[in-house]
Amino acid sequence: MLKNIPPILGPELLATLRAMGHGDEIVIVDANFPASFLGPRTHRADGITATDMLDAILTLMPLDEFVDEAAIGMAVVGDPQARPPIVAEFEAMLARHEPNFRFSTIERFAFYDRARSATALVQTGETRLYGNIILKKGIIRPAA
């Protein structure tokens, strides 16, 4: 373990996060998500909730302020205006770490398509439905 780094971020996931550049996307997915055969490298985080993983990643990773939507969930199938309980938690974490960003959603198969183009996936043990979120990486500005 290291100082200031949440211990659920293991060596390989940490290296992925550090290697990502501006606009690269990482996707935190729940335990039902078809991650392993989608294409991008999948980091396993069995036993970890999607909300804990989001909290850990946002501790280190800035979101992309160059786009309107940098934190994107999956809309409820057949009821896209619905807000599953886990979404309220995602929004609370965003508000805490990155208050300038709002959470948005896209339709299930559009989410899969976008996840195929991601840098990496993190498959958690999250059992709550719709526990999926795409995060688009932003920039660290030079020290003033």
| Active-site entry in 30, 43, 64, 97 | 64
Residue 79: CA count within 13 A, CB half-sphere: 4
Window 84-123: contact mask with a copy of itself (x via CB under 8 A) = ----------------------------------------
**Interface with a copy of itself, residue 144, by CB under 8 A:** no
User: Of 42, 49, 40, which Cα lies nearest the Cα of 8?
Assistant: 49
Q: Distance (Å, rounded) from C-alpha 16 to C-alpha 120? A: 8
- Contact between 16 and a copy of itself by CB under 8 A: the answer reads yes
- Of residues 20-79, those binding a copy of itself (CB under 8 A): 59-62
Distance CA(99)–CA(122), nearest Å, equals 23
Distance CA 12, CA 43 (A): 8
CB of 40 to a copy of itself, least distance (A): 16
Tell whether residue 140 is a contact of a copy of itself (CB under 8 A). yes
- Residues with a catalytic annotation lie at 22, 64, 112
